[in-house]
Amino acid sequence: MKEIITRSLSGFLYILILLLSIFISRYTFIGVFFIFGILSLYEFQKLIRYNKIWLYFLFAFLMLLFNSITLPDYVVLTILLLTIATEILLIRDLISIRIIPMFEKKKYLTSIFYLITSIIFLTQIPIYNNKYEPMIMAGSFFLIWTNDTFAYLVGKNFGKHKLLERISPKKTIEGFIGGLVFSLLAGYLIATFTETLSTGIWLIISVIMSIFGSLGDLIQSKFKRQAGVKDSGAIMPGHGGMFDRLDSIIFASPFLYLFLQILNYVS
Protein backbone atom coordinates (compact mmCIF):
# COMPACT_ATOMS: atom_id res chain seq x y z
CA MET A 1 0.00 0.00 0.00
CA LYS A 2 2.81 2.42 0.91
CA GLU A 3 4.47 1.76 -2.45
CA ILE A 4 1.22 2.47 -4.33
CA ILE A 5 0.72 5.75 -2.44
CA THR A 6 4.33 6.81 -3.10
CA ARG A 7 4.03 5.94 -6.79
CA SER A 8 0.72 7.80 -7.09
CA LEU A 9 2.00 10.92 -5.36
CA SER A 10 5.21 11.13 -7.39
CA GLY A 11 3.25 10.53 -10.61
CA PHE A 12 0.72 13.20 -9.70
CA LEU A 13 3.48 15.70 -8.89
CA TYR A 14 5.23 14.98 -12.19
CA ILE A 15 2.04 15.48 -14.22
CA LEU A 16 1.17 18.63 -12.27
CA ILE A 17 4.59 20.21 -12.88
CA LEU A 18 4.47 19.18 -16.53
CA LEU A 19 1.00 20.57 -17.26
CA LEU A 20 1.54 23.78 -15.28
CA SER A 21 4.77 24.42 -17.18
CA ILE A 22 2.97 23.94 -20.51
CA PHE A 23 -0.04 26.13 -19.75
CA ILE A 24 1.59 28.98 -17.79
CA SER A 25 3.80 30.15 -20.66
CA ARG A 26 6.21 29.07 -23.33
CA TYR A 27 9.11 30.09 -21.09
CA THR A 28 8.08 27.96 -18.11
CA PHE A 29 7.68 25.06 -20.53
CA ILE A 30 11.18 25.58 -21.93
CA GLY A 31 12.64 26.03 -18.45
CA VAL A 32 11.12 22.86 -17.05
CA PHE A 33 12.16 20.85 -20.09
CA PHE A 34 15.66 22.20 -19.86
CA ILE A 35 15.84 20.66 -16.39
CA PHE A 36 14.11 17.45 -17.55
CA GLY A 37 16.54 17.29 -20.48
CA ILE A 38 19.61 17.63 -18.25
CA LEU A 39 18.32 14.80 -16.04
CA SER A 40 17.50 12.60 -19.04
CA LEU A 41 20.91 13.20 -20.59
CA TYR A 42 22.61 12.30 -17.30
CA GLU A 43 20.59 9.08 -17.01
CA PHE A 44 21.18 8.13 -20.65
CA GLN A 45 24.92 8.65 -20.32
CA LYS A 46 24.90 6.34 -17.31
CA LEU A 47 23.12 3.66 -19.37
CA ILE A 48 25.71 3.75 -22.15
CA ARG A 49 28.64 4.31 -19.75
CA TYR A 50 29.55 7.66 -21.24
CA ASN A 51 30.33 10.79 -19.26
CA LYS A 52 31.05 13.86 -21.35
CA ILE A 53 30.46 17.25 -19.71
CA TRP A 54 30.56 19.04 -23.08
CA LEU A 55 27.27 17.39 -24.04
CA TYR A 56 25.49 19.36 -21.30
CA PHE A 57 26.92 22.61 -22.68
CA LEU A 58 25.87 21.58 -26.19
CA PHE A 59 22.34 20.87 -24.96
CA ALA A 60 22.16 24.26 -23.21
CA PHE A 61 23.51 26.04 -26.30
CA LEU A 62 21.04 24.38 -28.68
CA MET A 63 18.13 24.97 -26.30
CA LEU A 64 18.98 28.67 -26.14
CA LEU A 65 19.62 28.91 -29.88
CA PHE A 66 16.38 27.24 -31.00
CA ASN A 67 14.24 29.13 -28.51
CA SER A 68 15.70 32.63 -28.83
CA ILE A 69 16.20 33.25 -32.55
CA THR A 70 14.67 32.12 -35.83
CA LEU A 71 17.16 29.80 -37.46
CA PRO A 72 17.38 29.41 -41.26
CA ASP A 73 15.16 26.63 -42.54
CA TYR A 74 18.08 24.67 -44.00
CA VAL A 75 19.80 24.54 -40.58
CA VAL A 76 16.68 23.26 -38.83
CA LEU A 77 15.95 20.78 -41.62
CA THR A 78 19.51 19.42 -41.58
CA ILE A 79 19.44 18.83 -37.82
CA LEU A 80 15.94 17.34 -38.06
CA LEU A 81 16.95 14.90 -40.82
CA LEU A 82 20.06 13.83 -38.88
CA THR A 83 17.88 13.24 -35.82
CA ILE A 84 15.31 11.18 -37.72
CA ALA A 85 18.06 9.21 -39.53
CA THR A 86 19.66 8.37 -36.18
CA GLU A 87 16.34 7.20 -34.76
CA ILE A 88 15.63 5.07 -37.86
CA LEU A 89 19.04 3.40 -37.40
CA LEU A 90 18.12 2.70 -33.77
CA ILE A 91 14.85 1.12 -34.93
CA ARG A 92 16.91 -1.08 -37.27
CA ASP A 93 19.20 -2.03 -34.38
CA LEU A 94 16.19 -2.75 -32.18
CA ILE A 95 14.70 -5.21 -34.67
CA SER A 96 17.69 -6.78 -36.39
CA ILE A 97 20.48 -7.24 -33.84
CA ARG A 98 20.68 -8.60 -30.31
CA ILE A 99 22.91 -5.89 -28.82
CA ILE A 100 23.13 -2.29 -30.04
CA PRO A 101 26.86 -1.67 -30.68
CA MET A 102 27.90 1.41 -28.71
CA PHE A 103 31.43 2.27 -29.79
CA GLU A 104 32.83 5.72 -28.93
CA LYS A 105 31.59 7.56 -32.04
CA LYS A 106 28.12 6.03 -31.79
CA LYS A 107 27.88 7.03 -28.13
CA TYR A 108 28.26 10.73 -28.85
CA LEU A 109 26.16 10.58 -32.02
CA THR A 110 23.25 8.95 -30.18
CA SER A 111 23.68 11.33 -27.24
CA ILE A 112 23.32 14.26 -29.64
CA PHE A 113 20.87 13.07 -32.30
CA TYR A 114 18.85 10.53 -30.33
CA LEU A 115 18.47 12.50 -27.15
CA ILE A 116 19.59 16.15 -27.23
CA THR A 117 18.10 17.28 -30.54
CA SER A 118 14.94 15.21 -29.96
CA ILE A 119 14.31 17.16 -26.75
CA ILE A 120 15.02 20.40 -28.62
CA PHE A 121 12.38 19.52 -31.23
CA LEU A 122 9.99 18.58 -28.43
CA THR A 123 10.16 22.18 -27.21
CA GLN A 124 9.33 23.36 -30.74
CA ILE A 125 6.15 21.28 -31.13
CA PRO A 126 3.71 23.82 -29.58
CA ILE A 127 4.93 26.59 -31.90
CA TYR A 128 2.33 26.36 -34.65
CA ASN A 129 1.63 29.11 -37.19
CA ASN A 130 4.18 31.23 -35.27
CA LYS A 131 2.04 31.08 -32.11
CA TYR A 132 2.46 29.16 -28.87
CA GLU A 133 -0.30 26.54 -28.75
CA PRO A 134 -0.01 24.75 -25.39
CA MET A 135 -2.88 22.38 -26.13
CA ILE A 136 -0.88 20.75 -28.94
CA MET A 137 1.84 19.83 -26.45
CA ALA A 138 -0.54 18.82 -23.68
CA GLY A 139 -2.59 16.78 -26.14
CA SER A 140 0.54 14.98 -27.36
CA PHE A 141 1.42 14.00 -23.79
CA PHE A 142 -2.16 12.86 -23.21
CA LEU A 143 -1.92 10.61 -26.27
CA ILE A 144 1.34 9.10 -25.01
CA TRP A 145 -0.16 8.45 -21.57
CA THR A 146 -3.30 6.96 -23.13
CA ASN A 147 -1.24 4.67 -25.35
CA ASP A 148 0.97 3.49 -22.47
CA THR A 149 -1.96 2.93 -20.11
CA PHE A 150 -4.16 0.96 -22.48
CA ALA A 151 -1.28 -0.96 -24.04
CA TYR A 152 -0.57 -2.20 -20.51
CA LEU A 153 -4.22 -2.92 -19.62
CA VAL A 154 -5.11 -4.63 -22.89
CA GLY A 155 -1.83 -6.56 -22.94
CA LYS A 156 -2.23 -7.72 -19.35
CA ASN A 157 -5.80 -8.94 -19.82
CA PHE A 158 -5.85 -10.09 -23.44
CA GLY A 159 -2.23 -10.33 -24.60
CA LYS A 160 -1.15 -13.69 -26.01
CA HIS A 161 1.39 -12.85 -28.72
CA LYS A 162 4.70 -11.28 -27.68
CA LEU A 163 5.79 -8.12 -29.45
CA LEU A 164 9.56 -8.26 -28.87
CA GLU A 165 10.02 -10.80 -26.10
CA ARG A 166 13.84 -10.62 -25.94
CA ILE A 167 13.62 -6.86 -25.25
CA SER A 168 10.44 -6.46 -23.20
CA PRO A 169 8.83 -9.82 -22.28
CA LYS A 170 5.57 -8.26 -21.03
CA LYS A 171 4.73 -6.28 -24.17
CA THR A 172 2.30 -7.94 -26.57
CA ILE A 173 0.92 -7.35 -30.05
CA GLU A 174 -2.58 -7.14 -28.56
CA GLY A 175 -1.37 -4.50 -26.11
CA PHE A 176 0.20 -2.47 -28.91
CA ILE A 177 -3.04 -2.58 -30.93
CA GLY A 178 -5.08 -1.69 -27.84
CA GLY A 179 -2.85 1.31 -27.13
CA LEU A 180 -3.20 2.48 -30.74
CA VAL A 181 -7.01 2.12 -30.77
CA PHE A 182 -7.48 4.03 -27.52
CA SER A 183 -4.99 6.69 -28.67
CA LEU A 184 -7.16 7.23 -31.74
CA LEU A 185 -10.19 7.58 -29.49
CA ALA A 186 -8.28 10.06 -27.31
CA GLY A 187 -7.24 12.01 -30.41
CA TYR A 188 -10.87 12.21 -31.51
CA LEU A 189 -11.91 13.50 -28.07
CA ILE A 190 -9.12 16.12 -28.06
CA ALA A 191 -10.26 17.36 -31.48
CA THR A 192 -13.89 17.43 -30.32
CA PHE A 193 -13.39 19.32 -27.06
CA THR A 194 -10.55 21.69 -27.96
CA GLU A 195 -10.19 24.40 -30.57
CA THR A 196 -6.80 23.42 -31.89
CA LEU A 197 -6.46 21.15 -34.91
CA SER A 198 -8.97 19.22 -37.01
CA THR A 199 -10.12 15.69 -36.18
CA GLY A 200 -8.16 14.20 -39.08
CA ILE A 201 -4.93 15.86 -37.96
CA TRP A 202 -5.36 14.73 -34.36
CA LEU A 203 -5.96 11.17 -35.56
CA ILE A 204 -2.71 11.27 -37.53
CA ILE A 205 -0.92 12.67 -34.48
CA SER A 206 -2.41 9.80 -32.46
CA VAL A 207 -0.88 7.26 -34.85
CA ILE A 208 2.51 9.01 -34.78
CA MET A 209 2.60 9.16 -30.97
CA SER A 210 1.41 5.57 -30.56
CA ILE A 211 3.80 3.95 -33.05
CA PHE A 212 6.93 6.00 -32.45
CA GLY A 213 6.23 6.33 -28.72
CA SER A 214 6.09 2.53 -28.45
CA LEU A 215 9.32 2.21 -30.44
CA GLY A 216 11.00 4.77 -28.18
CA ASP A 217 9.97 2.79 -25.12
CA LEU A 218 11.34 -0.44 -26.63
CA ILE A 219 14.64 1.18 -27.60
CA GLN A 220 15.11 2.55 -24.11
CA SER A 221 14.26 -0.89 -22.71
CA LYS A 222 17.00 -2.36 -24.89
CA PHE A 223 19.53 0.16 -23.58
CA LYS A 224 18.49 -0.68 -20.01
CA ARG A 225 18.73 -4.42 -20.67
CA GLN A 226 22.23 -3.96 -22.10
CA ALA A 227 23.18 -1.91 -19.03
CA GLY A 228 21.69 -4.55 -16.72
CA VAL A 229 19.36 -2.15 -14.91
CA LYS A 230 15.60 -1.99 -14.38
CA ASP A 231 15.27 1.82 -14.46
CA SER A 232 17.34 4.62 -15.94
CA GLY A 233 17.34 6.44 -12.59
CA ALA A 234 15.56 6.84 -9.26
CA ILE A 235 14.51 10.49 -9.18
CA MET A 236 10.79 9.59 -9.24
CA PRO A 237 9.89 7.12 -6.47
CA GLY A 238 7.97 4.19 -7.94
CA HIS A 239 8.53 5.35 -11.52
CA GLY A 240 12.29 5.27 -12.00
CA GLY A 241 14.16 8.06 -13.72
CA MET A 242 13.16 11.08 -15.77
CA PHE A 243 14.28 9.31 -18.93
CA ASP A 244 11.91 6.44 -18.05
CA ARG A 245 9.01 8.91 -18.05
CA LEU A 246 10.01 10.75 -21.22
CA ASP A 247 11.50 8.05 -23.45
CA SER A 248 8.36 7.66 -25.59
CA ILE A 249 7.67 11.32 -26.29
CA ILE A 250 11.36 12.14 -26.76
CA PHE A 251 11.61 9.54 -29.52
CA ALA A 252 8.30 10.50 -31.16
CA SER A 253 8.91 14.27 -31.07
CA PRO A 254 11.05 14.69 -34.22
CA PHE A 255 8.48 12.77 -36.28
CA LEU A 256 5.62 14.82 -34.85
CA TYR A 257 7.55 18.07 -35.41
CA LEU A 258 8.20 17.07 -39.04
CA PHE A 259 4.51 16.32 -39.58
CA LEU A 260 3.43 19.65 -38.10
CA GLN A 261 5.98 21.54 -40.22
CA ILE A 262 4.73 19.83 -43.39
CA LEU A 263 1.18 20.64 -42.34
CA ASN A 264 2.09 24.26 -41.65
CA TYR A 265 3.87 24.57 -44.99
CA VAL A 266 1.00 23.04 -46.96
CA SER A 267 -1.62 25.20 -45.26
Mean pLDDT for all residues in the chain: 91
How far, in whole angstroms, is CA 192 from its chain's centroid?
A: 24
pLDDT single digits (tens) 60-84? 999 999 998 889 999 999 999 999 9
List the one residue out of 142, 141, 120 whose CA is nearest residue 257.
Answer: 120
List the one residue out of 30, 216, 44, 218 whose CA is nearest residue 137.
Answer: 30
Length of the chain as a residue count: 267
Q: CA–CA separation, 31 vs 26, rounded Å?
A: 9
List the one residue out of 134, 136, 144, 128 whose CA is nearest residue 250.
Answer: 144
- The whole-number pLDDT of residue 4 equals 66
Q: Are 175 and 135 in contact (CB under 8 A)?
A: no
pLDDT single digits (tens) 1-43? 566 677 778 888 899 999 999 999 999 999 999 999 999 999 9
**Run of H or E residues at 131:** strand 131-132
* Predicted model pTM: 0.94
- The whole-number pLDDT of residue 58 equals 97
- The whole-number pLDDT of residue 205 equals 97
How far, in whole angstroms, is CA 231 from its chain's centroid?
A: 16
- The whole-number pLDDT of residue 1 equals 59
In sequence order, what DSSP letters do the residues of 215-242 get, joined into one string? HHHHHHHHHHHHHT-S-S--SBTTTB-H
Q: CA–CA separation, 132 vs 30, rounded Å?
A: 12
Which alpha helices (H) appear in 98-198, and where do they start and end? 104-110, 117-124, 134-158, 173-193
